[in-house]
Structure 1
Amino acid sequence: MNADPKTLHSLLADAPNRWGRWGPNDEIGALNFLGEREVRQGLAAIRQARTFTLGVPIATDRGDPVFPGRWPARHFMVADKAGFTAGHWHPLHGGLEFADDYVTGFAQAGTHCDALGHMWFDDTLWNGYPAASTNGGMTKAGIMPIAERGIVGRGVLLDIARFRGKAALGRGETITHHDLVECARAQGVEILPRSILMVRTGWVGALLGGRETITDTYWEPGLTFSLDLVRWFDAMEIPCLVTDTLANETTYEPDTGMMLVLHAALMRNLGIVFTEMAWLDDLAERAAADRQFDGLFCGSPAKVSKGTGGSINPVFIR
């Protein structure tokens, strides 16, 4: 790797790219790998019929952790009992009263999926679509095609934090594909081709618990770029990457200082769907107790018209 590449264009010049693999109109990328066989593999991994939901709460009273530059979702009551008591609202015919509310926030707040066109460089999105197609809304590679397709397959939990003997990884701590393979081996679980990878760092738990905070020097832990890592993801045909961090990768690359390189290398170039800020702590605790780290992952983001992303509350069944 060039010791000091100046652009993503030069850094990824020799990295794999899947544009056109599923035709010129494709907008779901690596989700094309999830067919009937992969769904059946996920179903076959269910042994206890126990379910875990992987979404985090949003619009909490204490404020939600969000990536720097965004702000937490906000929740407003529009109608409640106090409104009826004050005479602002009146019971429906027959006597029914009601509560109603309003939530506003970023599409990438809380647990969410990124659209494949969410980030780009060289004025080009996933599959070669022009960056101008984002103007006024995602007319190409938005979240709607992913939401309509859904994400269902065999999920594999890789508890990197526990593997390293920590409650949570530290700021800027990195993970390679070799770490993923070694963690799987230690856990006794196999990363099959087309597995949905669920990587636990403990970071969201640390943010929600107040042990870590969002600051101007924010630098979260996670996967770090190398050409070998990108080639491994390509060869393994990974359809979806799920982590308990805000951006699914370390914020800055230690070697180059570039920001969010894997959004370019994995999402933009390979069409891998990113699911970020998943709640994996409860699942990890149970998996460590009974040594079952795989199961059926299923979920679909909200169908946000022309959206850059969508909230999701995945269900994992094991």
Structure 2
Amino acid sequence: MTDEAFRDLYRELRESAPRGPEDRRGTLRRLTPERVVAASAEVRTGRTVSLAAPVETDPGPDNPHPASHRMLTPADGDAGPDGLHFALDRFAMNVHGNADSHLDALCHVIYDGGLYNDVPASSVTPEGAGALTLDTVRDGIVGRGVLLDVPRLRGVPWLEPGEHVTAGDLAAAEEAQGVRTGPGDLLLVRVGHGRRRAELGAWQAAEARAGLHPTAVRYLAERRIAVLGSDGNNDTAPSAVPSVAFPVHVLAIHAMGMHLMDYLRFEELTEACEAAGRWSFLCLVAPLRLQAATGCPVNPIAVL
């Protein structure tokens, strides 16, 4: 995709939905109370499924700086047989890595010197972000989730690194699965990244991974999707746009104001949807209450 074509697409998507100068929620405005109530009707069996990958603490090709977890107490001999004792621990992680499931806030992407909706990039400082932060979603994200399984459509266990998901793939997956996305939906796109990693081992996902082609973001705008999630990074590597390493992040977050979820885990959800014979469900996302953060680890729950 040429730089000029990308710029044209960026402008098209930026103008695809009206917004006021004070808008800080982006496409979450599509998640109206009425749509949340309607999404609750997706619950039929009460089965819950985690959509998060287990947090890893060992380094690997795609996770050179993994999460750290250490016990603070008890030390050896501290937990005696009598009295009260507490086990305490400390946890730290690189939120926007290539292995852990996480949510991107709208202040995550700085492009052409600014954030979404012309918020100045200077609002992000070493002390934290001052606008479009994770606090925007402090009340959670709840709505109708739809899983589109592109490897299932193509008859393969996963897409190979570097392969693109097109808007045509998404529309064809809808038809094959008997589901249709609509306004306010949380769209989850499976590329099979997690399954490939589990069966073949980790690789340098920063250099090679399957994801959406930039033009597929037009589908998100046309269907008025509220949130996008994937079991990969949502972006393909190498990038389809020579001058922009993460074009889907730029188009979704920066141009449209759409929160993204990266590196989710869909294998159990795929099995549950197959068993239920449907690909939509209630989806609940409860971000951490981090007021000045650009993102956080997340454990979305599907309720079928």
Q: Do both proteins adopt the same fold according to a TM-score greater than 0.5, normalized to the shorter chain?
A: yes
1:276 aligns with 2:268: no
Aligned length: 301
Deviations 1:270-304 (A, max 9, x none): 01110111111001012123321101011121122
Structure 2 length-normalised TM = 0.90
Structure 1 length-normalised TM = 0.86
Counterpart position of 1:234 = 221
Q: How many Å separate the matches in 2 of 1:160 and 1:183?
A: 6
Q: Does the C-alpha gap of structure 1 residues 306 and 66 become closer, same or farther in structure 2, counting only changes over 3 Å?
A: farther
Q: Offset at 1:11?
A: 4.9
Q: How many Å separate the matches in 2 of 1:13 and 1:76?
A: 44
Aligned partner (choices 189, 205, 219) of residue 179 of structure 2: 189
Contact (CA 8 Å) 1:20, 1:127: kept in 2 or not?
Answer: no
Contact (CA 8 Å) 2:62, 2:204: kept in 1 or not?
Answer: no
Q: How does 1:184-263 map to 2 (within 5 A)?
A: 184-207=174-197, 209=198, 211-215=200-204, 218-226=207-215, 229-245=216-232, 247-254=233-240, 256=242, 258-263=244-249
Deviations 1:140-195 (A, max 9, x none): 1111112x131111110111112211221101111012111110110111212221
Deviations 1:217-243 (A, max 9, x none): 7211011112xx333322221110011
Q: Offset at 1:106?
A: 1.4
Secondary structure in 1 matching 2:214: coil
Q: Return 5+ residue gaps in structure 1 as ranges.
A: none
Q: Offset at 1:252?
A: 3.0
Contact (CA 8 Å) 2:287, 2:297: kept in 1 or not?
Answer: yes
Q: Offset at 1:121?
A: 1.2
Q: Return 5+ residue gaps in structure 2 as ranges.
A: none
> What amino acid does structure 2 have at the position aligned with 1:258?
V
Counterpart position of 2:91 = 103
1:113 aligns with 2:100: no
Secondary structure in 2 matching 1:249: coil
Contact (CA 8 Å) 2:35, 2:184: kept in 1 or not?
Answer: yes
Q: How many Å separate the matches in 2 of 1:14 and 1:7?
A: 10
Aligned partner (choices 273, 284, 289) of residue 303 of structure 1: 289
Aligned partner (choices 165, 178, 191) of residue 168 of structure 2: 178
Q: Does the C-alpha gap of structure 1 residues 217 and 198 become closer, same or farther in structure 2, counting only changes over 3 Å?
A: closer
Q: How many Å separate the matches in 2 of 1:157 and 1:217?
A: 24
Secondary structure in 2 matching 1:76: strand
Q: Offset at 1:91?
A: 6.2
Q: Offset at 1:138?
A: 0.8
Contact (CA 8 Å) 1:84, 1:91: kept in 2 or not?
Answer: no
Q: How many Å separate the matches in 2 of 1:41 and 1:21?
A: 24
Deviations 1:78-111 (A, max 9, x none): 113xx251xxx4769x701221111111123521
Counterpart position of 2:140 = 150
Contact (CA 8 Å) 2:3, 2:241: kept in 1 or not?
Answer: no
Counterpart position of 2:122 = 132
Q: Does the C-alpha gap of structure 1 residues 37 and 18 become closer, same or farther in structure 2, counting only changes over 3 Å?
A: farther
Identity, % of aligned positions: 28
